[in-house]
A and B are shown apart, each in its own frame.
Chain A
Amino acid sequence: MGYAFAVPVLFLLALAETTVLAQFRILDLSPDLLVIAVALIGVVVHWRAGLIWAVIGGVCLSLVSPGALPMGTYVLGLTWVALLAALALVSGFNQRFLLVLLAAFVGTWLYDATQLLLLWLSGVRINWLNVVSLIVMPTAVINALLAALLLWPVDWLFDRFQRAGLRSRPL
């Protein structure tokens, strides 16, 4: 089973992010489902699994919305989220609840910073103050809260998978 499981799940999440969540917005913003998923997998399973999910998820987002940003941008942005989980684990930090909050919150900043840098380099005019205060910061809070809320359900799910022998093994 392994990472083959990740492909349909991430593809559905990418589709949901661009169709369903685009219409249900919180504070006029939509949560980044892929950031949340990578943060959760990075913490619950292993950071390397999170990295693989970041690559597959990033490609799915680029396929679903090909004109939004150049291919590779979402992969790069999501990679920082997976690496945050890795950095925290390497430093010996093992409070999973705080770890997932941190990975989703700081990860959103890095994910958005990657996109903003690409947009700015391609000549997009950006009102930095408004973007940071009205888009990046609230999205980071929403993503962190949702990731924290989903920690136990995802943990339980992967525990069931592990018992059934379906858990993705780290590389």
Chain B
Amino acid sequence: MRTRSALLPAVVIVVSALAIIAAQLQWLSPLQGLGARGLAPVQESLYTLVEPVAGYFGGLRGAEELRQENEALKQRVAQQDSEIVRLREAEKELQDLKKLQNITSNTEYQFAVARVIGRNPGNLARTIVLNKGSDAGIQKGQTVLTEGGLVGQVKSVTPTESEVLLITSGALTVPGRVQRLESRLTGIIEGELGGKGLVMKWIEHRDGIARILESDTILTSGEGQTFAPNVLVGTVKTVHSRDIDPFETAEIESLVDFKRLEQVYIITNFQPKRLS
């Protein structure tokens, strides 16, 4: 009996380690999807049931935070109003050019709309569970976004559910570029588990020309075809340059509130060639 008792933890540890290896080799994918198949309605009901209550308490807790956010957004709206006027002019100009050159746009995405119905257990992994799966045209590797910009990438799919890895998880590398026409600088955007946000890195040219400026808009570049191109990632908050580092870095501020995601959009007509 004593031997059996002593062996039990060892058996559990060995079996768990073997299960982890098997899961990494994708041998357990059918088994892992099994649970999710029937769970979507239960998870959705529970999540939706609690959402208004959590929203109420969240509102109380974050009143000051909301006031500051409101001020910042008002300023942003004012800036964007003037930007819209400029962009309308630019759009008209572009349409005229297209007519002239018979260019057709290739950035018309089709979206599946999904609700967030769960999150990863604990506080370390950074995933969200959505109420739509392969039945709604969602596939592994597709790009996920909200009105605020890029959210992440679909990591696993069942017919009724999908799980999304967030760009802040530290597990994804997103090819990005500066939207400004005079720059068009490309680099890689990474998050970091426990980090405060997103960082864009690029190789320094050392020619004295500033290719990235504060408040520059950063989009996905589509390089490597891991993420759909031209999706907003965020704006440049600060730029760092060190002589000893071959890379220059910029902190990117995303408009997405990753802690309060409710509804997301999945680009269903872009198929990634290689998963990051």
Residues of A near any B CB (own CB < 8 A): 14-20, 22-25, 28-30, 32, 34, 48, 51, 54-55, 58, 61-76, 79, 82-83, 86, 111-112, 115-116, 118-119, 122-131, 134-135, 139, 171
Contact = CB atoms under 8 A, between A and B. Distances in A.
A71 B12 contact: no
Interface string B1-26: 00011001100110111111011100
B156 A126 contact: no
A19 B43 contact: yes
Given A75-B19, A130-B194, A22 B118 contact: yes
Contacts of B19: 70-72, 75
26 contacts: A15-B39, A15-B42, A19-B117, A20-B46, A23-B54, A23-B58, A24-B54, A32-B122, A63-B35, A66-B33, A66-B163, A67-B156, A68-B120, A69-B120, A69-B125, A71-B28, A72-B15, A76-B13, A112-B122, A124-B169, A125-B190, A127-B194, A129-B194, A131-B193, A135-B194, A171-B8
Given A23-B51, A67-B163, 10 more contacts: A22-B119, A23-B58, A30-B123, A66-B156, A66-B163, A70-B20, A73-B16, A111-B122, A124-B171, A171-B5
Contacts of A58: 16
Contacts of B22: 71-72
Given A20-B50, A70-B24, A130-B195, A14 B156 contact: no
Most buried by A among B12, B119, B124, B259: B124
Contacts of B259: 25, 28
